[in-house]
Amino acid sequence: MSISQNAPTRHAKLIAWVNEVAQMTQPDSIYWCNGTKKEYDAMIKIMVDGGLATPLAKKPNSYLFRSDASDVARVENRTYIASKSKDDAGPTNNWINPEELKTTMRSLYKGCMKGRTMYVIPFSMGPIGSPIAKIGVELSDSPYVVTNMHIMARVGKKVLEVLGENGEFIPCLHTVGKPLLSCQDDSGKWPCAPLDKKYIAHFPETREIWSYGSGYGGNALLGKKCLALRIASVQARDEGWLAEHMLILKVTNPEGKSKYVAAAFPSACGKTNLAMLVPTIEGWKVETVGDDIAWMKPGKDGKLYAINPEAGFFGVAPGTAMDTNPNAMLSITANTIFTNVALTEDGDVWWEGIGYDAPGKLIDWTGKPWIQDKGNKSQAPSAHANARFTAPAQQCPAIAANFDDPAGVPIDAILFGGRRPSTIPLVHQAKSWNHGVFMGSIVGSEITAAALDLKAGTIRRDPFAMLPFCGYNMGDYFAHWVKMGEKNPNTGIKFFFVNWFRKTKEGKWLWPGYGENSRVLKWVFEQCEGTGKSVETPIGIMPTADAIELPAGVSADDMKELLTVDVEGWKAELADVKQNHYSKFSNLPKALAEELAALEARLA
Ligand code: SAT
Ligand code: MN
């Protein structure tokens, strides 16, 4: 099969690759995506006609999908960093020799698109033509992927124009891994391969992504975690920038002065809520630049400039409500794809934590009738815990006007956080760049539902929230952060560690979170301005007892507990870091060992 005749590009390398993949995967036809609304609608129609998508009467141009039970989240134990040497993948990544993995995957890919169309999806991560943006091309046999990529990235003809005849692109190969026999269709069943046949593979040296057998989220929308984090982190290391699992927000004080904050939290820790926060304090404003990924490059003035490489939100639905995240709720009133939420009788969506009772008889995410039984604590939820919405960023009422600025925004502060019921105070600030890198390196969180194969409830270290997303040796990644500080002494960036998830011994939340987190952002802003009230403590710089105004329901005693340095807790924390975390890295940078020793000494 030769397709160069009708390819809308003269990029010889791209055409050759498309031909090569088509020969291997044997699709019935090949379709080059142009990124238009017409194309989006045509893809949706295919899926509605095939029984895979349900139009939602209550939400214009919006659709519900139900995936397979084996295909509801990223699968970390099927995700590989296949660098030539195992050492380059490091102790935190799954590794297979790239040649071996390619041999295995080639045999799976053989004929895997039979009976399907192969879509060629040219996409840009970042505003098209931005000096910080990168181009990828995804080949996929999933119209679900095409529509989601339309929302999450900039897709189509314009990308091919920028690519020209010789431009650089990252090849991303994807299949659901379910060829169709002649005249067969999916019969309304989400196509994918069984768990042990799923592979999400990254080849960092050749900058390639090969994904097999999953149609869901970060396993299949290859621009997101695969390109914008795993492969981009390798490029960032080589080129002297940062590809991070961070939201970007703009915070403006009552005088109209703004700061830009980037923040890393492990998946499903309320990152989208923070990115879209509605401040509870008079006169302050928060606007969204990004909710998941930040690419930061040094500018001529020495500051780090960040872009959000994505164009949409792939957010967790359960728990999203008008009182927890009104901006997210308002972003998903139309033109949205819902996956694995519940369906109401009148054609709307519903999920646990949406803020009101389930209206009547629902269809749950598995397709079965479901009636809310509030007396029954063990009732299975109607929406999957990792159910998602895919919505265009431009629909967010809080989207920053410069969200799309190809130059990016200058970052003033970087926040780290996680779900930590004890020890870690509400907020503390690093004393230096390397102390900030140390903070990022020891991030830990209670496990949630975003990854399929981890036990919920336990705490795992998730450095920089990059554990599942770093495309190379995490020890080298720490070293890259240290080096970025040495090479860029004038970023002015201040680092903070926040924890909205402190509980009392009785298990009661100490901090209300959500919009009230603006009080902490205000202190962060003031620290960047040099006007905040603060004290030096052994663990870093902290707000004075009166620096942060108390939200309703938080007593002065609660605040005292939130801002206490729990010396014994920290000693246990550092012992754990040493024994169970840093010990994994034979290449741990000296600067981090020194930060740990200095902190131990300050606590002694
Ligand atoms: O499925 S994704 O990887 O895109 C979302 C997440 O796990 O954070
Ligand atoms: Mn994420």
- Strand-pair partners of 171: 137
* 324 vs 269, more confident: 324
Alpha carbons 253 and 482: distance in angstroms, whole number: 31
**CA 431 to ligand 1 centroid distance, Å:** 32
The residues facing 32 across adjacent strands are 120
pLDDT band at residue 280 under the 50/70/90 scheme: very high
What would the pLDDT profile of 307-351 be if each residue is shown by its tens digit?
999 999 999 999 999 999 999 999 999 999 999 999 999 999 999
pLDDT tens for residues 167-220? Answer: 999 999 999 999 998 888 999 999 999 999 999 999 999 999 999 999 999 999
Please tell me the predicted confidence (pLDDT) of residue 21. Answer: 98
CA of 272 to the centre of ligand 2 (A): 9
Which of 33, 269, 470, 528 does the annotation list as catalytic? 269
Q: Please check the confidence at residue 505 and state whether its pLDDT lies above 60.
A: yes
* Residue 269 pLDDT grade (very low, low, confident, very high; cuts 50, 70, 90): confident
State in Å, rounded, how far the first CA of the chain is from the last one: 71
- Whose CA is closest to atom 7 on ligand 1? 450
What residues pack around ion ligand 2 (CB closer than 5 A)? 267, 292
More confident residue, 3 or 53: 53
The model's pLDDT over 546-594, given as tens digits with 9 standing for 90+, comes to 999 999 999 999 999 999 999 999 999 999 999 999 999 999 999 999 9
Residue 49, classed as helix, strand or coil, is helix
Q: Do 436 and 216 touch, CB atoms closer than 8 A?
A: no
Is residue 269 part of the annotated active site? The answer reads: yes
∠ CA 536-429-518, rounded to 5° = 120
* pLDDT tens digits, 185-196: 999 999 999 999
Best residue among 174, 224, 447 to mutate for probing ligand 1's pocket (most ligand atoms within 8 Å of CB) is: 224
Answer whether residue 448 shows pLDDT above 80: no
Q: Are 199 and 75 in contact (CB under 8 A)?
A: no
At residue 460, the pLDDT reads 86
| Pair of tokens at residue 570 | 């920290």
The overall average pLDDT reported for the chain is 96
**Among residues 299, 315, 475, which one has the least CA distance to residue 390?**
315
By three-state DSSP, how is residue 138 classified?
Answer: strand
HEC readout, 242-280: EEECEEEEEEECCCCCEEEEEEECCCCCCHHHHHCCCCC
- Mean of the pLDDT values across residues 65-89? 97
For 437-492, what is the HEC assignment? HHHHHCCEEECCCCECCCCCCCEEECHHHCCCCCCCCHHHHHHHHHHHHHHCCCCC
Please give the structure tokens belonging to residue 272: 């989208």
**pLDDT range class, residue 451, cuts 50, 70, 90:** low
230 lines ligand 1 (CB under 6 A): no
How much is the pLDDT for 270? 87
Distance CA 576, CA 590 (A): 18
pLDDT of residue 129: 85
> Which ligand 1 atom sits closest to the C-alpha of 221?
4
CA distances (Å), origin 181, targets 112, 184, 192, 274, 509: 11, 5, 15, 47, 55
Confidence of residue 5 (pLDDT cuts 50, 70, 90): low
* Sequence-ordered alpha helix ranges (H) in 320-417: 326-331
Distance separating alpha carbons of residues 68 and 187, to the nearest angstrom:
13
Taking the centre of ligand 1 as the mean of its atom positions, its distance from the CA of residue 597, in whole angstroms, is 35
Helix (H, G, I), strand (E, B) or coil at 43: helix
Mean pLDDT of 66-89: 97
